A = this chain, B = another copy of it.
Amino acid sequence: MNHPFHILSSAQFDRKFLDYLAVLTDTIRRFNKSKEGSIYLKGLLAHKRAMLYFTQPSTRTFLSFQSACHILGISTHEIRDSSTSSERKGESIEDSLRTFSSYVDIIIMRTSTPGLCDRIAEYLDHTERPVPIINAGSGPDEHPTQALLDIYTLSRNFVKEGGLDGKTITLVGDLKRGRTVRSLAALLTNYQDVKLRFVSPESFRISEDLRQYLVKKGLDFVETTDFSGSLENTDAVYMTRVQDEYDVAGESAKVDYSQYHLTKDHLGILKDSAIIMHPLPRRQEIDPAIDKDPRAKYWRQERNGMWTRVALLTMIFGVDSQIVLPEL
């Protein structure tokens, strides 16, 4: 297994990596079921420190990574508001990040600037003290760890149905600006015979570069505005919210997004074995009454995010080899 140093893009993961990560995540979750196992995990990286540099608002991804760190004993620092930082004293972003690298062993970054993580990783690689960078969401372009948790959730739910190969996934909503869909679709090219249905308002269709990428990779996909029809015979429906924080001229208000809301009326269309996912947070895309339906997997998906990040951290620091079920 080729262990990653930086985590910058979902394009860096291959099938072998994804399968290994899933097994590793499963094993870690079993560890966590006992106090002894949890304490063992907490000793694995107790000598490490992480910086959570989240200058773009985030609750879920932040907490998920912070929990993942704490599960492994990693101490955490956080910067979530540049007003308390040296940036006010005119420091460059490179100097700020190099400073963090002086104090910590890994930097987990969420930023609204596309490409910044790559730039910083490249910069630090040429210093005396390179540290791993994890992209925890960079503007509209990448969110690789979200894609990992989505793949894990899909894989685990299809274990009895032979895995993710050959499945039909329906992705719904603001597909143009949602980076989760972008990263997930790219990762799905690692599987055999997966079929994608992109369902969105006309103005929020997937971007041209993603379309071309999928064509090049030979992935079978359709684009449509027909939500209800796309729910038939699908194995998973992946809902997303409108990304109006990226509005330039009120694009969101011009769309009737309510046509892309999953309601109890749709449940009859869905197969019994289908699963419902959402990267969260949600607004009205999924009626809360659906939460109790056994096919609703978004809360479990959320928690899976924490566990896949734990697994990823053990790989980055090379302690995944120490995770074998102990004889407790």
Contacts and interface: CB of A to CB of B under 8 A. Distances in A.
Contacts of A96: 59, 281
A99 to B, nearest CB: 6
Q: Is the interface of A mostly helix, strand, loop or mixed?
A: helix
Nearest to A37: B47
Nearest to A64: B103
Nearest to A44: B35
A163 interface: no
A87 to B, nearest CB: 8
B67 A104 contact: yes
A15 interface: no
Given A42-B47, A95-B282, A281-B91, A86 B59 contact: yes
Given A67-B103, A86-B281, A89-B245, A98 B299 contact: yes
A184 to B, nearest CB: 19
Interface in A43-84: 43, 46-47, 49, 51, 54, 57-60, 63-64, 66-67, 70-71, 75, 77, 79-81, 83-84
Given A91-B283, A92-B288, A95-B288, 18 more contacts: A38-B47, A39-B46, A49-B70, A57-B89, A59-B99, A63-B100, A64-B103, A67-B77, A67-B104, A70-B75, A89-B241, A89-B245, A91-B280, A91-B282, A95-B282, A102-B303, A103-B306, A129-B303
